[in-house]
A = this chain, B = another copy of it.
Amino acid sequence: MRKIKELGEFGLIHKLSSQINFRASDSILGIGDDCAAYPVKSGKFEVISTDALVEDIHFKLSTIKPETLGRKALSVSLSDIAAMGGTPKRIMVTLGIPKKISVSFLEKLYSGFNEICNHFKVELCGGDTVSSPKCFFINVAVIGEAKRIFSRKGAKPGDLVFVTGTLGDSSLGLKLLAKNKTRGKDHKFLTTKHMDPTPRVKEAEILGRSKIDITSMIDISDGLVQDLHHICESSNVGAQIYEDRLPLSPELIRTCKRSSIPPLPLVLNGGEDYELLFTLPADGVKNLIRQFLKAKVLVTQIGKILKPGGISMKMKNGTLKVLPESEGFNHF
């Protein structure tokens, strides 16, 4: 009996999806990207995605408030739509509910849903509630709209690699939560980045509206290196990133120093950053920087796309380090 662990999540998805024959004639992206996409009206595309959060795998009820869980469940799903350059429009939520969950817990969860729906003007338009005796789970299906679709495929040698925001905060926040270290402003910032990530919907809209030739894009959910590998594999290219350009928050730097935690593994493989990672030709950089400055949002060039040959990092000391794919998050 073959175990799922041996295949890994992506191997499993590949194996199973290869069994499915029927393809709609108008689909432009299917299984294997962040979303599926297809044209809906002249010049516009619909993008759809689904994401599940399972108790004790993606969250622990003892460490997250229901309002926060509600916000996070929606935010990580909206992030998938942003990753395609789309604007989220509608969601459907399925709840699998064990007996221990009270009505008051669900009301607080929904108040979290409501905050995100209002903030991003997304309609919660349906769903399903089912009894699930042994574990609580949330599934969110999102439908969005896009003028242009950014997929994982299309990065070319010579393109530059950019990332929004800062990296590693979420996984350091998770470490702090696990050790019950949540005192002080820095800890609060980091744990909030883990529990309450902001989907980069605004940034995706800026890119979608712009004329910039975004050649590939993904949201960082599995960690910078693993998600850059996803882009490289889909685009059949390699990449180099620069250690000294990786965007680290002051809160992460201070906390790592204080607790003697090496920051680099967090930044490279931490996961759940929900920042956008994307590539573009050098002639688009000026326009990109101008637009992001105007919107007052952080964006950093962290590397460049090379010919196929894996991913390496140019260290501060000038040496090159190979960054293999396998160190990212695999929850099986």
Asked if A2 and B133 sit within 8 Å, CB to CB, the answer is no
Q: Which residues of B contact A101 (CB under 8 A)?
A: 4
Question: In the complex the two chains form, what is the Cα distance from A1 to B105 in whole Å?
Answer: 10
Asked if A48 and B125 sit within 8 Å, CB to CB, the answer is yes
A78-108 contacts to B, CB under 8 A, are: 89-90, 92-94, 96-97, 99, 101-104, 106-107
Q: Which residues of B contact A121 (CB under 8 A)?
A: 22, 24
Q: Which residues of B contact A180 (CB under 8 A)?
A: none
Q: Which residues of B contact A177 (CB under 8 A)?
A: none
Check: A114 CB closer than 8 A to any chain B CB: yes
Contact with B along A4-29 (1 / 0, CB 8 A): 10010100110111011111100100
Residue in A3, A24, A54, A117 with the greatest tally of chain B CB atoms within 10 Å = A54
Q: Which residues of B contact A178 (CB under 8 A)?
A: none
Cβ 8 A contact of A21, one of B53, B90, B114: B114
Question: In the complex the two chains form, what is the Cα distance from A9 to B12 in whole Å?
Answer: 34
Check: A164 CB closer than 8 A to any chain B CB: no
Cβ 8 A contact of A107, one of B16, B51, B127: B16
With A12-B103, A123-B22, A139-B94 as given contacts, are A130 and B40 in contact (CB-CB < 8 Å)? Answer: no
Check: A132 CB closer than 8 A to any chain B CB: yes
With A36-B92, A103-B3 as given contacts, are A331 and B110 in contact (CB-CB < 8 Å)? Answer: no
Asked if A22 and B122 sit within 8 Å, CB to CB, the answer is yes
In the complex this chain forms, how many copies of it are found? 2
The binding surface of chain A is classed by DSSP as mixed
Name the residue on B nearest A117 (C-beta): B22
Contact with B along A43-73 (1 / 0, CB 8 A): 0001011111110111000000000000000
Q: Which residues of B contact A90 (CB under 8 A)?
A: 24, 27, 36, 38, 48
Q: Which residues of B contact A331 (CB under 8 A)?
A: 130-131
Question: In the complex the two chains form, what is the Cα distance from A16 to B50 in whole Å?
Answer: 21
Check: A259 CB closer than 8 A to any chain B CB: no
- Closest CB-CB distance, A49 to chain B, in whole Å? 6
CB-CB nearest 8 A-B residue pairs: A36-B125, A141-B141, A134-B134, A2-B103, A24-B123, A139-B139, A36-B126, A50-B92
Q: 21 A–B contact pairs at CB < 8 A?
A: A9-B129, A12-B129, A16-B107, A19-B110, A20-B113, A20-B114, A22-B118, A22-B121, A24-B89, A24-B125, A30-B125, A30-B126, A50-B128, A50-B141, A51-B128, A52-B94, A54-B131, A56-B133, A131-B332, A133-B135, A139-B139
